[in-house]
Chains A and B, each alone.
Chain A
């Protein structure tokens, strides 16, 4: 990947992030922050690669902590976002599928 291509990817991704969020209603701010928090959990793949290439004990130790933290970010972010969004229901759908709780 050349530097210029990388820069273009960076620029386009930045605009994409802005556009995707631009019209979000306030009621979804917290879940969306949580959802974007989950998305940067992709750092897990980077942490895996970093630990996969670590050689000295120090690098391995830091890499281990990195993978552990990244997995926490991804899994924790997913669980809490899913829990929050699961509860958003309109009155119509709620009546139709009223659960036992």
Chain B
């Protein structure tokens, strides 16, 4: 470390458990049939609590984190991307999608063996690609039934009964469809439990992120990626909710004892959108300057669910359990699930970059930031939408912004050394020295 150590640092005690949960997730999906269970595929954003009503032996694979894992394996990723291009799909499409399709086309599972074909697809449509991602999967692997829920009902501050009814109506249809394609009876109690788990886990993740307001920050973003990802795998599971509670307690302890993620912390940043997964060493490079990326709207708000607290600051949203809400019916569970998800920060930018700018400015202020690094991510139109307006808004609010162009899942569109040079220049601008 070039700059002088100011704080004590320690590895996370719960790190091993996080790794184990992730490994089990991919193994359980692949081995579902051996255990007599079912497997389904869908996005990390999908209403994963709903298929839980089919039983405890139903395992999923969420496509974005799976594709991000592929992206981190450069050799396999390149073969996947090239296989997709050979099949006729454009190179500028979502790189998660292209990595995922490549794995299907090659019939190779990242964790070994052939790609485990799902029994059904349970998706939601958040961007231009999400439903069509699986339309193509059905072309590549014919015969998989798919159901996709449209969630494009506008930002949370404009939600009406009509909009909620649209989503909940599709969910009810979806449950009838799940019963039909699996031949199983649906258990509302399991749904209700999964909704409780999801509210608990996503509020807990927001609480963990809130703790990062502390100086020094107890977590840095590279580590947070490995933790938040569990929510993208199964935010509706008790395993993840329990883990986030354990994590929250440990992070509280770190804050109380000034245990820093970056021991020479002297500059606080946030990023935006998914990072180039094959090049997370960029965050280690920041540390040479004592710069800590405390997170981003992406790491905070894709899984975390938030609310404005009485003191006007951002904190974890109060869960239905904490409010004493007793969920008794399927419809009630689905309405809570809908409302909860629509309030997620990372939904809002789809409708207005200006809402996203407001949230980013809030983070910049409340987390005491010195600057912002925006990843102009060629791999994801969904999270990059409006990013240029975010840049203008942050500058207008007085925060220095550095942009770098790249791709979360296609290494051909990212130049690490050029980006490091930009970091050098940004640090110089901020007056931060190694």
Q: A and B from one assembly?
A: no
